[in-house]
Chain A
Amino acid sequence: MDISRKLSFYKREMGRQKEHSSLSPALIALRDHYSARLLFDDHPVLLREKSEPAADINSQIDLKIVSRGEFDRPVALERCLFFDLETSGLMGGSGVYAFLIGFAWWAEGRIHIRQYFLPDFGREPLLFLKLDPWFKSFDYLVSFNGKSFDLPVLNSRFLMNRLDLHLKKLKHIDLIHPVRRVWKDSLPSCDLQSLELHLLERRRDNDIPGAFIPQVYFDFLQTGRIQDIIRVIDHNDTDLGSLIFILDKLNRIFDDSRALALDIAARARVARIIAGQKPVPLQAFKILESSGQEPESAEYLYWKSMALKRAGKAEQAHTLWQKLQRYPVFTFRVMEESAKYLEHNLRKNGEALKIVEQALHLMEIQREFGYRPEKIYADFLRRKKRLLQKS
């Protein structure tokens, strides 16, 4: 049987739909909707540009603490290129096409946005070549989850077009990591939408859910209808703006001149980040505390104590440890710290022993309630033995 007859068998159950080939009216309609421009005559790409004032943004970004030292010198906001893609698939892999490539940057008190919409497949090469020199005017690429999705997709596209673009050479600030570090315990989820809602108090109207976006593009290719594509372009536009504001929020964590975006959970997480820095930026605690109205959480205090200890201020840490003994989660951890401090720093073995015995006593009482001795119990026992030998 020849292949076409086989095919007729194969496709029997698959439905067919009529095709609309002529795209230009749709593209023209889109152009008019946004007062946009069409680039390249034969293989048009839509360019939508806009800019709006945003004077109230710091032009210097300091991410040293929230990036845990990855970006240890201040970044000039003007050197940052924000980007976000809308794609034909959400799972990644080389078959994913970026049909909308959005960029944003900040200059002289304004946010500028450029979105390139590719109205069909195969429109990339000219666009990429055109963009390449422009990338050189930036040092940083800023994205949200771009390290695991957007940039690999773009990289794939470059490779498939056998292009090696400057974009890859920019340092990449993926906001998802510092954002999670700070707000993980404060928000129901750390996706862009809930960050907007809770941090920026921006609410989206008529937004299209990300999962629908690939199908919207395929439908556009097929039918030329533009309503939903407009929603996608607006969605991307909103995403880009949010990126800038979220970066600004992150930047203002230690900005004592303004109300903080940090709730009590986030302050504890930031304290933990601070404690992990080297050298420990103790002054950051002052800033955090200067605007905090509520009393700090135990977790905050614990991380602060660890920061103090690492900064060589064991005496101050010890005061906190004594305070923290009242919090069951930290009781034994801080008792251990206190014991260490008394034994090694102050050489007060007797007092150290007292704490150790107290801790062991508490653990043994808890044992009756099902407490299973863990490593810390064994550590205390060992410490006790040593202290007894010393004295």
Chain B
Amino acid sequence: MNLDQLIDYLANDSGFQQRLSKWVTLAPRPARYAPFPENLHLAIVQSLKKKGIKQLYTHQAAAFETVSRGEHVVVVTPTASGKTLAYNLPVFNTLMHDPEARALYLFPTKALSQDQLKEIEDLKGKLQLRTKAYTFDGDTPADIRRTIRTAGNLVVTNPDMLHQGILPHHTLWIKLFENLKYVIIDELHMYRGVFGSHVANLIARLKRLCAFYGSSPRFIMSSATIHNPGELAHNIIGDKVTLIDENGAPAGEKHFLMYNPPVVNAELGLRRGVVNEVKQITRKIVPTGAQIIIFARSRMRVELIVTYLQDIAGELGLRKDQIRGYRGGFLPKERRRIEQGLKNGEIRIVVSTNALELGIDIGQLDVAILAGYPGSIASAWQQSGRAGRRRHTALTIMVASSAPLDQYLMEKPEFFFGKNPETAYVDRENLPILMSHLKCAAFELPFKEDEEFVPHATAHLLDFLASERVLRKAEGQYFWMSDIYPADEVGLRNSTQENVVIVDTTRQNKVIGEMDMFGAQEMLHSEAIYIHNGVPYFVDKLEWDELKAYVHRVDADHYTDAITKVDIKVLDVLEEQKEPRYKKMLTEVAVTRAVTGYKKIKFKSHENIGFGRVYLPELEMQTTALMLQFPREVLEKNGLKESEISEGLKSIAYALRHLAPLFIICDVSDIAIFSVVRDPFARDPVIYIYDKYQGGIGLSKKLYAREGLLLAAAREHIAGCVCTHGCPACIGPTLEHDENARETALRILNAMELKT
């Protein structure tokens, strides 16, 4: 049975059909070609032809032409659609004329940059260019660093290295800065939220140094499909960007199946587990001979699925080593072996975390199975893009879990197949982040009095830093006046400078991770069960003064859920708008949070099996919040009592929080939600949705513009859930609510007369 036959077979399998909430067939898309641009160097054209590339895809040609006009460009490209060539063509074309030219390639991870170098070396060899290309990362030895600084034409690195290793030492990189023609930013959609805000500031620093050395590089970016790639690119580089979102690469016929496991307990709204379902589906597919990639959300899931499948390897007619796991934390050599095995067909099934979602070269496979919704539509499509050899049929099966977002998409698959509503947002002006980078920038080069780093506020901020004796104003400039190295004080992937370090006492006090202080209070308080990469740890002690959490591994049958006392004070109202029945405001708030205790909750059954107390200091955070105000009189008119309102708001809040990532790309843990029946500021029942980062990173600002959609989605989802009294898939675990909570939530939402 081949894949096409399997698809026919599945189409006629009524048991299987019943579980599908949607089967979408995307018609094959023929390649769209464009002739080689006239100003593309003849040698490049010839070597491409030798490689078998007779014409360019339209997006490759368009990118080249746009850059040739001197514009910055962002190309939207699905997986495996020739994006590498799209950004390498302008670079190499310039090198043909100017052997001193420099280009900087930024990849979000180290693994990706290693992979990229291979591609560059290949093209370079074919063009017989004496161009020197290097990766520059934490592992680069000191003597090679010297060579890279002076002689590297193409420097392939990541934002963290640019931040700590290159910009603060720019005088050693004078050749790079003086001759920098291109900056390539791959996987742009990864730069969002806190990381994105950091990177936007980092790029501002880079541009500032380029200006000092008299260069003005063009930015060539690539992004996965999201709602606003152009806007994101504009925000990251702080300049006008041309968007190319028509992709010319061909694609074979594609089947995308949304599979919802059967309900096993309607009261609790529980469905059959994802892992088990994936095993059954794999069983059906293996006989077709197709190569399969399975994506799981955590490393633990990956290991679990691999074990399950290896157990039935004999039955599947496979050797155990034809089924492999792939995740972060593997040694490069091991990863290469797997990548090779996939390419030559030796490995039949690979189970991966999102590590393989990015552009690592493993060739194309036939079937992608998503074990649970990966958290964003963009990710889901990228993972699905791993299946589909050119001009061949590809099959993607997304298996839903019982999580609210998974279930919502199963109810409303059109959401998934329509235009991607996910917006990636970065906030250049998050104050703590901006300040960190302003300091780094001042270290790198003194600020001139009238210089602008961020629109409007630069002078203000510099004066502030001078008054705090971090800078010194002299001779009309602001000089760095501290013996610390500011780039060491800030990591690009965290929001607050201070982090709690997680120490594993069972492994010679190895540091296994870090967490911001707010997160640490909730997840690393003493006696918490902390899940790290899917492995449960018991927290022996949280040493708050040392910012250290000591943990050891356990086999836990429960997890812990912190009881957090939250208080929100509105500092300022930035925007407000009255809807027919409710009101929304975008506010600056001060949130005080203190973890006072925790609940022990049993895995699977979510049963509450105990409590504990926690003594930790209050933390304060200033951030932005979307405030939804539900007028008491409207609710009372609809017969809702105060106690009901409280329950109902909590239920709505749960749904809103879990559905919000549909509209803004973020993790459920990036936002927090708080509901209160008598809000001292609004004097009404209120729900706050706020950014869980000091200074705010623009998530609630984005939600402010889409609150109607979000509320409507919540209502629809709660109404459509299969459970009877509320469940983790809609309003949260039943045990936490009273019996009518789901009903009440709906009554409140209906009273708001939402547009649909």
Listed in ascending order, the chain A residues whose CB lies under 8 Å from chain B are 1, 3-7, 9-11, 14, 16-17, 43, 88-95, 97, 120-123, 152, 155-156, 159-160, 214-215, 218, 221-222
Contacts and interface: CB of A to CB of B under 8 A. Distances in A.
A1 B571 contact: yes
Contact of B468 (A16, A92, A214): A16
B624 to A, nearest CB: 9
Contacts of A218: 469, 481-483
B474 A95 contact: no
B396 interface: no
**Most B CB atoms within 10 A — which of A90, A93, A215?**
A93
A3 B468 contact: no
Contacts of B475: 43, 120-123
Interface stretch (B107-115, B165-173, B243-251, B521-529): B165-173
A1 B588 contact: yes
A232 B479 CA distance: 21
Contact of A95 (B442, B456, B460, B468): B442
Interface of B: 168-172, 174, 431-432, 435, 442-446, 456-457, 460-461, 464, 467-469, 472, 474-475, 477, 479-487, 571-572, 574, 588, 590, 622
B477 A156 contact: no
Q: Is chain B's binding surface mostly helix, strand, loop or mixed?
A: mixed
B443 A94 contact: yes
B709 to A, nearest CB: 27
A222 B469 contact: yes
B168 A95 contact: yes
Given A3-B460, A14-B468, A16-B467, A121 B622 contact: no
A92 B472 contact: no
Given A95-B168, A95-B444, A221-B472, A215 B483 contact: yes
Nearest to A43: B475
A1 B572 contact: yes
Given A95-B442, A214-B483, 8 more contacts: A3-B460, A7-B461, A9-B590, A90-B483, A91-B485, A94-B443, A95-B444, A159-B171
Contacts of B622: 6, 9
Contacts of A7: 431, 460-461, 464
Nearest to A8: B464
B166 to A, nearest CB: 11
Contact of B446 (A5, A9, A121, A221): A121
A155 B572 contact: no
Contacts of A122: 446, 474-475, 477, 479
A14 B442 CA distance: 19
Contacts of A93: 168-169, 443, 485, 487
**Most B CB atoms within 10 A — which of A3, A43, A152?**
A3
B149 to A, nearest CB: 12
Contacts of B474: 120-122
B486 to A, nearest CB: 8
Given A11-B464, A90-B483, A95-B444, A121 B472 contact: yes
A155 B480 CA distance: 18
A6 B589 CA distance: 11
A322 B606 CA distance: 80
A91 B165 CA distance: 12
A159 B174 contact: yes
16 contacts: A3-B456, A3-B460, A11-B468, A88-B483, A89-B483, A91-B484, A93-B168, A95-B485, A120-B475, A121-B474, A121-B475, A152-B172, A155-B171, A156-B171, A160-B171, A222-B469
Nearest to A3: B457
Contacts of A3: 456-457, 460-461
Nearest to B465: A11
Contacts of B174: 159
Contacts of A16: 467-468
A3 B462 CA distance: 12
A212 to B, nearest CB: 10
B39 to A, nearest CB: 34
A91 B457 CA distance: 30
B472 A95 contact: no
Nearest to B458: A3
B385 to A, nearest CB: 41
Contacts of B590: 9
Given A152-B172, A221-B481, A94 B444 contact: yes
Nearest to B174: A159
A6 B572 CA distance: 10
Given A121-B474, A122-B477, A94 B171 contact: yes
